[in-house]
Structure 1
Amino acid sequence: MHDDRQLVEARLERVLRERIRPAVHPRTAPLDVEIWSASGEPVPVAEGLAAPTRPIAEGTPWGSPWGTSWFKVTGEVPADWAGHTVEAVLDLGFTPRTPGFQCEGLVYRPDGTPVKGLHPRNSYVRVGSPVAGGERVEWRIEAASNPDLDASGVPFRPTPMGDLSTAGNAPQYVLGAMRLAVFDETVWDLVADLEVLGELMAELPVDGARRWEILRAVSRALDAVDLQDVGGTAQAARDELAGVLAAPAAPAAHRISAVGHAHIDSAWLWPLRETVRKVARTASNMTALLADEPEFVFAMSQAQQFAWLKEHRPEVWEKVRAAVADGRFVPVGGMWVESDTNMPGSEAMARQFVHGKRFFLDEFGIESEEAWLPDTFGFAAGLPQIIRAAGVRRLLTQKISWSRTNSFPHHTFLWEGVDGSRVFTHFPPVDSYNCEIQGAQLAHAARNFKEKGVATRSLAPTGYGDGGGGTTREMVARAARLRSLEGSPTVRWEAPAAFFDKAEAEYPNPPVWVGELYLELHRATLTSQAQTKRGNRRSESLLREAELWSATAAARTGFPYPYDELDRIWKTVLLHQFHDILPGSSIAWVHREARATYARLAGELDGLITAAQSALAGEGTVPLAFNGAPHARGGVPAGGATTPDAESRAGAVPPVARRGGGYVLDNGLLRVEVDARGLVVSARDLMSGREAIAPDRAANLLQLHPDFPNQWDAWDVDAFYRNTGRDLTEVTELAVDGAAVRVERAFGASRVTQLLSVPLGVGRLDIDTEVDWHERERFLKLAFPLDVKADRYAAETQFGHVHRPTHQNTSWEWAKFEACNHRFVHVDEPGWGVAVVNDATYGHDVTRTVRADGGTTTTVRASLLRAPRYPDPETDQGVHRFHHALVPGAAIDDAVREGYRANLPERRVTGAAPVAPLVTVDEDAVVVSAVKLADDRSGDLVVRLYEAHGGRARATVSVADGYATGRAVLTDLLERPLPDAPAPASGQGDVRLALRPFQMVTVRIPRGEDPDGA
């Protein structure tokens, strides 16, 4: 029996490969092909259709890197093919490598009507079924010669192909066969039968009766096939398989809801402009497949990608609109893009849902209740609250299955965030967001599913992504045979909402996971491409300011609120938070463009802010200082205040004193000693008398490590990087620079200049670092060894902070050796703590050791720079600037305040008189994250705020200038009244709120008078 099994399996594989699959197209006829290549960037479709062409023969090289060629394909169906199904098989030069990472094409009719995409595993275009014979065919193909960045076969090899300036112009592809072909549907069905049964057979127990039943049927089918006449005998072979294919699945079989999908990275190994075309090709494919397959359902996320179709490919957009209206092309996710969720700030993460959901509502009348993030690199603990506040209840992701140390214990569960919000969450156990409905994948899903015994179903996103063309007709055929097949999970095409409805109904009390969903992989994405990250942080801060000042000016002066400009800029920033742009894991082209985009947006936002402030200040000569920090306590106004000409005490600095070979900085609150190495050997909080720096240690210590991960260069940093490294203690210059100490260092091919200062009135050491970075495969850290016994620390996340352990008691804790923070990290022991704040970094690590004196040293290290070489060989080369601050004696409220202050510049204009805040809050624990006018242009004021300390808070929000606080309502993120929320208490000009720990609320206040004079 053993030998029989092996012989049948080997026979099946060869006969399929060499005889049956080739017989799907038993007769072919050549097509005539001509080509025109654009000289630069892609041209409009009309121009490509009309371009002059020249003949090109099979076997001819074509396509410079990132080029566009238009093929003209013509021919005539042979007369003797009448009555047959005929299609064209068009090979642009595809390789057997993964779809989506090589050449692709979109087929048009001569009149510009899109037909479908061409991809390595989806290269047919139907002519007719049946044909009459003699039909003339003509198509145009817009073909992209995107380079295969791993064509060498060695993954992660540095390549110059990731940017136009270094890619050269050598042809990338060789034109393959372009032919008409008879399509034998019976043979095609036989292929599907044999593939499904062969794959199922391979997954069944070797000694199981079902496996042998299938094996015998397959053997009979192969005997029935005449290899010299496959088409004439295919039906006889299918008849031999009919019995085993008709055996229904067991009642307890795992249930898989398949949904067509094509995960398309909005940028990655291709630039943004190419994603527009990848989306057009895939959407054309999927609308064509929907027309052919009545049970098929396709889901597409990322409102940005729909918007690209509407703007750039209206002919494809109309097909998508029709398919959406039919209910089978399903917009999912409710986000502008599938963003990173660790690094985007509070407001940016909220606006991902605001802009995404609003687009789907405006264009389709659809409100998605499922967040769709299959490929995002871990999930911040603040996200559940944002999801729920957007009117979303459920989340799908896949990436956590990539964790290398610990296996996540659930596939279906409730995820609880920092404020207590819970989201019904599903991780598909198929462990892929590019499922192909293969037997091994389905068997893995059934075996892997961790909720066996209490739940029965899982989701399988099905189709080739990243320009691979989405779901194929072969996948649909497999699903049809697996609808109910003994030995296999069952497969049904279902929209995500239908799956989630059933999953929630059958599993009403799933387990709960509290806190962040940390991915034990891709940790270096918190550091790679530092200028992209700085651009993001700066854009978020400027947008907050622009909205605040514009709203204040609109309320006070009638200043025209820049709705359109802010909408456009927000969408651009949100796009660049995509999970391969902000994380720094895209090609050089993407990050080059991102740097230019951020610079342009900064100029635009500075212009909006200046215009609003000038309108507020009026005509005059009095210098006014503006500060847009989070709340009105401690001289940090929420609504945008001005003060008459006066030095900001937070900006002034005391003189520097010389001591030995170093210097002392002392402002009466904090005394800092800098030794001859330019290192901080003491930072004493003069109010408490506590020393922040651990004995015999030094802070402001730059540390350089080797950085060559096992794979995924831009994505990963592996734990062994910590095994070796060196402290950068040599100085080239140590001097007084105004009221600061300047420290200069040189190492390798790089240089560092730092300015250390302590401002008056604040117990804070400011550290401004400029690095001219020219290292390769190195990791630069900035270390602060602190004399604090902390078993855990706080790191800011969206609308709050998350606590992480400093110890490594378990493998789960050990695996978090690099993590994310926003503006601050805070460590403390009862009654005293230290904050490290930043203006542009995210990655960090916190460790602890016990000293010989019995004390504990807790070391906070900020991650500054890396130098991976794939996919961008020049990652981070050049000049970078960072601002960090050490705040001894800081409680969590100090960490919040100083974190905001480090990211908000003080601005000065000349005006006539001070300007009072539009919005103030009387409670330090409550932070205002947004002050803006309502998106519906009603003139209503929208204020979003949250409890930032992790406790309960009562706060009064005071609003000036004629807003009817008595009619204030609590809303969701889309500024719609919450149906079950009571109206907040209000008085004349104020709104009173009671907040639970980390609760975020959005308050909408109409313009006008309060009812009854309240």
Structure 2
Amino acid sequence: MPGIVRRLDELFKKTEGPWSERILAELDFALRISKNSENGLEKEIETALDALERRAALDGFIGQAAAEEAEKMLAAAAAEAKKYTLLCASHAHIDMNWMWGYNETVAVTLDTFRTMLRLMDEYEDFTFSQSQASVYEIVAEHDPEMLEEIKRRVKEGRWEVTASTWVETDKNMPCGESLARHILYTKRYLSGLLDIDPETLNIDFEPDTFGHNVNVPEILSNAGVKYYYHCRGYDALSLYRWESPSGNAITVYREPLWYNSGIDSTVAELVADYCIEHGLKTMLKVYGVGDHGGGPTRRDIEKLIDMSRWPVFPTIRFGTFREFFKTLDAVADTLPVVKDELNFIFTGCYTSQSRIKMSNRIIEGRLNEAEQFAALAAKTGTFKYRGDYLESAWRCALFNHFHDILPGSGVIDTREFALGRFQQAAAAANTTLAGAMRHIASLVDTSRIEDGGGLEETVSEGAGAGFSATDYGVSIPERGRGKTRIYHLFNPSPRERTQTAELIVWDWPGDLSRLKISDGAGDLPYQVVEAKKGYWGHDYAKLLVFATVPACGYATLTLGESEPEKLFTAIPGDPRVDRFEDLVLENELVRAVFDNENAALLSFTDKKTGRDLIDPSRPAALFRVIEEDDSCGMTSWRVGRYMKITNIDTNVKMKKPALGGGLRKQFSYSAGFGASRLDVTVSLDRGSRRLAFEVECDWQERPVKGKFVPQLNFTAPVAYSCSGYRYDIAYGTLFRNDLDSDVPAVSWGLAVPQENGADALMLISKTKYGFRGTGDSLSLALIRSSYDPDPYPENIMHRFGLALELVPAGTANLALAENAYDYNHPLTCVAGTRHAGSLPAAASLMRRVEGSAAPAAVKLKESGDGGLIVRVYETDGKDTEAVFEFFKKPVSASFVDINENTLEGKAGIRVAGHRVTFPVPAYGVASVCVEI
């Protein structure tokens, strides 16, 4: 055999031309199937090879006569060769806005599809496959006549729709609900647009996605998607079953070659070995020019037609991905099982173009709250739930999940379009959320609250228009007047929260020193943070109040002025004594000590156990500038080796005054470094174990090509030995071992102690994804000045938040998820007025009563029939019963899938009184439709 291989190689080198290419490719294939043939084909191969060598020596080439003569000698091999099939599925990989703007994406899509349709007119057997709902939306909007042609080819079975997601999405950074919405909206949209059965959209086609979280099989299984196609993130097996922690699994084909390729005579080289290894007779060949569209060429089609006539070659025919995956059903139970995440590749993409990351986290969180309160408002009152309006916002968010947009590997036009889409989505989500909360507030009976007088000269009504919207928040203007004001605090969490909340009071005519706030049961602790701040012709005061707000509900607060207890005496406020105090933030639960010189965290102690999580010899909460080695190139895709680390621990200036009140203690500092500036406020609230860092950074560091890429980083070494690190992922959490590389998390990481029963440190992010757990420390990549393909993506003013939380021993994953959710979803205040109503002063509209299942979504059904969808995921690896209680009595409840189809025959739901109880498997996702 080695001798035959050598001789065949020599002929490849010495001869050329179409007949030489043909017969030598056939010999190569015959040789490959010979080793798997019971009788062997070496004799026939050697005979044909002898003849070809003689003709080549005499003629200097291999012509038609010599090739056909050799094919006759290989007649025995021909019969064996045709037992194998190469199924050829063409595809055009169309990147959404990778190195160009949306206008070019539209042009690429339409030009590519027009070419495919013309080729179909000429080649009656030619088939084409295309993913991504977004490209069909482009056609529908920009060339409706073409859409009719595509629909006709879809009906013929020659145009295959391989889309089950809105775009070929990133799978590491979007939350679980986002990945679910990709499928929900894609199936609904395409089944209507193209008049196809949504059940046929059962392939998740992700050829270029940069890694895949371990819960992808769970999400796909819950949405009727059976098959997965990918290239990156894994390099061991090309055909396997991928199983999520819940046990749900899908069949996966990892492209053994590549998804962008042309057609030549080498297409059969892997067929025999691949088929024998997996017990198949069919292999898939994906072909077509891609990235910037294009698809298969005429040459590709002609070549396949030509090779299909070669006698000593596999059966070659045009086909579809769905056709290939169906052949795998017969061997699915025998395939090896993979149970891990399919990571890591392109770790820089967890940080690059950080404003796109910011936009994603904000819009995911806002849509979560908007849908929930809109649905509950609709069930409680007469609020109109605008599902189509919310879907339009989701489509903007889903488009930005494309694997070159959210990962930050695009150009300036990519970034600008993404942020524009984000603003559209934020407008819809914020408007919906504000409207839902206002509607609920309008139903609350506040008629017994006295007006307090001082109404004639009021200027407060309408003050604060757009106040919070500056930072993409919900705009909640003042509606009250006079000295008595009414406010409603809203809690999006499924459990009651007692904590510090922020109130903005506009143009209040009273004396702040005599302020009082009550919730009907008594006066509440409060703290004045800012007084008499100006904003567009109005003044406001920023207050903190310590209140209890029911789960997924609201509480009503009354703000007024108390009677004076003593006569006022004017005392000059001139300084009399300078006091020098240590930087300590302390409440009833924890004590945090910071370095007076550089604001590094030296100690973080649990006051109940006395355990300190920080070693002062390895200070934490340090910001640092890292110079990354850029020698590997692709700087937006890759985090380079750390060459130099410089702590920002000099030129640190404390700002006055520090805040030392009863509800929040905080201090602020600034630090200059390089050409940049960092302004940080560190705070600790009453009843909290969380140190919150609010950061404003004027980042002006620039890369030096060929030398380094600068990075801003936050690090928190711990004083204990770590067994590893736990991170949140889509619909769950994942334990990872120590790894000196950035890894993705949706919002938090936990340094897991080796010692059982020990406190732990948790790092939570508001808008960042790139964590690193190594060397008994957690760190977070904040800003990276990559320079390709976007040369200057980060030289702007950045605002972001992060937190360090002391987690008591034995805290379950559910509580960790709740901690992160609460940090990223603060209580929201809505200004109210005095009026009659049907709702009490405080109420929970829905709450989780029992079970280790965290809610992922509360919404109304897309069908518009009024069903309330509650989706949960189990967090702690145990079968559980989820119990939810509703303000109004449910009539019935049923299991549904992610597509909101009723799961007939799936039992176990109980409805009793105001409660719905249903089982959730360990690490599983469950969706329930509740009729109220």
Query: 2-side partners of 1:703 and 1:633: how far apart?
Result: 35
Which amino acid letter does the alignment assign opposite residue 196 of structure 2?
G
Which region of structure 1 is more displaced relative to structure 2, 386-395 or 692-701? 692-701
Partner of 2:390 in structure 1?
Answer: 566
Deviation, structure 1 residue 997: 2.3
User: Does structure 2 retain, via aligned residues, the 8 Å contact 1:455–1:507?
Assistant: no
Which amino acid letter does the alignment assign opposite residue 437 of structure 1?
I
**Cα gap change, 1:936/1:468 in structure 2, threshold over 3 Å: closer, same or farther?**
closer
Query: 1-side partners of 2:376 and 2:718: how far apart?
Result: 42
User: Do residues 881 (structure 1) and 799 (structure 2) align?
Assistant: yes
User: Do residues 685 (structure 1) and 606 (structure 2) align?
Assistant: yes
Query: 2-side partners of 1:451 and 1:631: how far apart?
Result: 56
Partner of 1:292 in structure 2?
Answer: 122
Which amino acid letter does the alignment assign opposite residue 928 of structure 1?
P
Which amino acid letter does the alignment assign opposite residue 547 of structure 1?
E
Deviation, structure 1 residue 245: 9.8
User: Does structure 1 retain, via aligned residues, the 8 Å contact 2:866–2:931?
Assistant: yes
**Cα gap change, 1:12/1:280 in structure 2, threshold over 3 Å: closer, same or farther?**
farther
Picking from 282, 287, 298, the partner of 1:473 is 298
Counterpart mapping for 1:520-559 below 5 A: 521-559=345-383
Partner of 1:391 in structure 2?
Answer: 224
RMSD between aligned alpha carbons? 3.3
What SS does the corresponding residue of 1:743 show, helix, strand or coil? strand
Deviation, structure 1 residue 441: 5.0
Partner of 2:325 in structure 1?
Answer: 500
**Cα gap change, 1:375/1:438 in structure 2, threshold over 3 Å: closer, same or farther?**
same
Counterpart mapping for 1:928-967 below 5 A: 928-961=855-888, 963-964=890-891, 967=892
TM-score (norm 2): 0.78
Aligned length: 786
1:354-378: CA deviation from partner (whole Å, max 9, x where unpaired): 1111123223323212111111011
Which amino acid letter does the alignment assign opposite residue 917 of structure 2?
R
Query: 2-side partners of 1:925 and 1:786: how far apart?
Result: 28
What SS does the corresponding residue of 2:872 show, helix, strand or coil? strand
**Cα gap change, 1:960/1:472 in structure 2, threshold over 3 Å: closer, same or farther?**
same
Partner of 2:673 in structure 1?
Answer: 747
1:920-965: CA deviation from partner (whole Å, max 9, x where unpaired): 111363221111111001111111112223333323111233541x
1:646-703: CA deviation from partner (whole Å, max 9, x where unpaired): 89xxxxxxxxxx9978500001211111102111111111122111113411111123
User: Do residues 987 (structure 1) and 917 (structure 2) align?
Assistant: no
1:417-451: CA deviation from partner (whole Å, max 9, x where unpaired): 1322211111122x20123233445425656x497
Query: 2-side partners of 1:947 and 1:453: how far apart?
Result: 35
Deviation, structure 1 residue 221: 10
Which amino acid letter does the alignment assign opposite residue 477 of structure 1?
E
Which amino acid letter does the alignment assign opposite residue 237 of structure 2?
H
Query: 2-side partners of 1:485 and 1:239: how far apart?
Result: 10
What SS does the corresponding residue of 1:475 show, helix, strand or coil? helix
Query: 2-side partners of 1:5 and 1:391: how far apart?
Result: 48
Query: 1-side partners of 2:364 and 2:87: how far apart?
Result: 39
What SS does the corresponding residue of 1:768 show, helix, strand or coil? strand
Query: 1-side partners of 2:392 and 2:587: how far apart?
Result: 44
User: Does structure 2 retain, via aligned residues, the 8 Å contact 1:788–1:828?
Assistant: no
Partner of 2:245 in structure 1?
Answer: 418
Picking from 784, 800, 819, the partner of 1:866 is 784
**Cα gap change, 1:900/1:637 in structure 2, threshold over 3 Å: closer, same or farther?**
farther
What SS does the corresponding residue of 1:452 show, helix, strand or coil? helix
What SS does the corresponding residue of 2:750 show, helix, strand or coil? strand
Partner of 1:339 in structure 2?
Answer: 169
**Cα gap change, 1:219/1:629 in structure 2, threshold over 3 Å: closer, same or farther?**
farther
Deviation, structure 1 residue 588: 0.8
Deviation, structure 1 residue 754: 1.1
Partner of 1:624 in structure 2?
Answer: 488
Query: 2-side partners of 1:253 and 1:436: how far apart?
Result: 24
Query: 1-side partners of 2:717 and 2:580: how far apart?
Result: 23
Partner of 1:400 in structure 2?
Answer: 233
Query: 2-side partners of 1:532 and 1:294: how far apart?
Result: 44
**Cα gap change, 1:684/1:5 in structure 2, threshold over 3 Å: closer, same or farther?**
closer
Which amino acid letter does the alignment assign opposite residue 430 of structure 2?
D
**Cα gap change, 1:511/1:484 in structure 2, threshold over 3 Å: closer, same or farther?**
farther
Query: 2-side partners of 1:312 and 1:245: how far apart?
Result: 54
User: Does structure 2 retain, via aligned residues, the 8 Å contact 1:302–1:332?
Assistant: yes
TM-score (norm 1): 0.72
Query: 2-side partners of 1:493 and 1:900: how far apart?
Result: 49
Partner of 1:827 in structure 2?
Answer: 751
Query: 2-side partners of 1:805 and 1:4: how far apart?
Result: 50
Counterpart mapping for 1:595-994 below 5 A: 595-618=419-442, 621-632=485-496, 638-645=551-558, 662-675=582-595, 676-718=597-639, 721-735=641-655, 736-738=657-659, 739-775=665-701, 776=703, 777-806=709-738, 817-829=741-753, 830-831=756-757, 832-848=759-775, 858-890=776-808, 891=811, 892-911=813-832, 912=834, 914=841, 916-923=843-850, 925-961=852-888, 963-964=890-891, 967-994=892-919
Query: 2-side partners of 1:253 and 1:695: how far apart?
Result: 71
**Cα gap change, 1:780/1:459 in structure 2, threshold over 3 Å: closer, same or farther?**
farther
Partner of 1:132 in structure 2?
Answer: none
1:449-475: CA deviation from partner (whole Å, max 9, x where unpaired): 497164554422211113342112322
Which amino acid letter does the alignment assign opposite residue 696 of structure 2?
E
Query: 1-side partners of 2:61 and 2:283: how far apart?
Result: 41
Query: 1-side partners of 2:883 and 2:383: how far apart?
Result: 27
**Cα gap change, 1:390/1:330 in structure 2, threshold over 3 Å: closer, same or farther?**
same
Which amino acid letter does the alignment assign opposite residue 668 of structure 2?
R
User: Do residues 434 (structure 1) and 260 (structure 2) align?
Assistant: yes
Deviation, structure 1 residue 847: 0.8
Counterpart mapping for 1:248-397 below 5 A: 248=78, 250=80, 255-363=85-193, 364-366=195-197, 367=199, 368-397=201-230
What SS does the corresponding residue of 1:315 show, helix, strand or coil? helix
**Cα gap change, 1:994/1:659 in structure 2, threshold over 3 Å: closer, same or farther?**
farther
Partner of 2:534 in structure 1?
Answer: none
Task: For structure 2, list consecutive stretches of 5 or more residues without a partner in the other structure.
Answer: 33-41, 447-484, 499-547, 561-577, 660-664, 704-708, 835-839
User: Does structure 2 retain, via aligned residues, the 8 Å contact 1:956–1:992?
Assistant: yes
User: Does structure 2 retain, via aligned residues, the 8 Å contact 1:665–1:758?
Assistant: yes
Deviation, structure 1 residue 883: 1.1
Q: Share of identical aligned residues, percent?
A: 26
What SS does the corresponding residue of 1:399 show, helix, strand or coil? coil
Deviation, structure 1 residue 12: 5.0
**Cα gap change, 1:439/1:678 in structure 2, threshold over 3 Å: closer, same or farther?**
farther
**Cα gap change, 1:506/1:751 in structure 2, threshold over 3 Å: closer, same or farther?**
same
1:271-326: CA deviation from partner (whole Å, max 9, x where unpaired): 12221221112212222222332332211111111111011111221111110011
User: Does structure 2 retain, via aligned residues, the 8 Å contact 1:708–1:717?
Assistant: no
1:836-869: CA deviation from partner (whole Å, max 9, x where unpaired): 1111111111013xxxxxxxxx100111111111
Query: 1-side partners of 2:322 and 2:279: how far apart?
Result: 20
**Cα gap change, 1:714/1:681 in structure 2, threshold over 3 Å: closer, same or farther?**
same
User: Does structure 2 retain, via aligned residues, the 8 Å contact 1:248–1:484?
Assistant: no
1:722-753: CA deviation from partner (whole Å, max 9, x where unpaired): 34322222133123443422121222221111
What SS does the corresponding residue of 2:850 show, helix, strand or coil? coil
Which amino acid letter does the alignment assign opposite residue 411 of structure 1?
S
Which amino acid letter does the alignment assign opposite residue 97 of structure 2?
A
User: Does structure 1 retain, via aligned residues, the 8 Å contact 2:287–2:296?
Assistant: yes
Task: For structure 1, list consecutive stretches of 5 or more residues without a partner in the other structure.
Answer: 17-190, 228-233, 402-407, 648-657, 807-813, 849-857, 1008-1014
User: Do residues 460 (structure 1) and 285 (structure 2) align?
Assistant: yes
Counterpart mapping for 1:45-84 below 5 A: none
User: Does structure 2 retain, via aligned residues, the 8 Å contact 1:457–1:503?
Assistant: no
1:229-256: CA deviation from partner (whole Å, max 9, x where unpaired): xxxxx99899778758986263597643
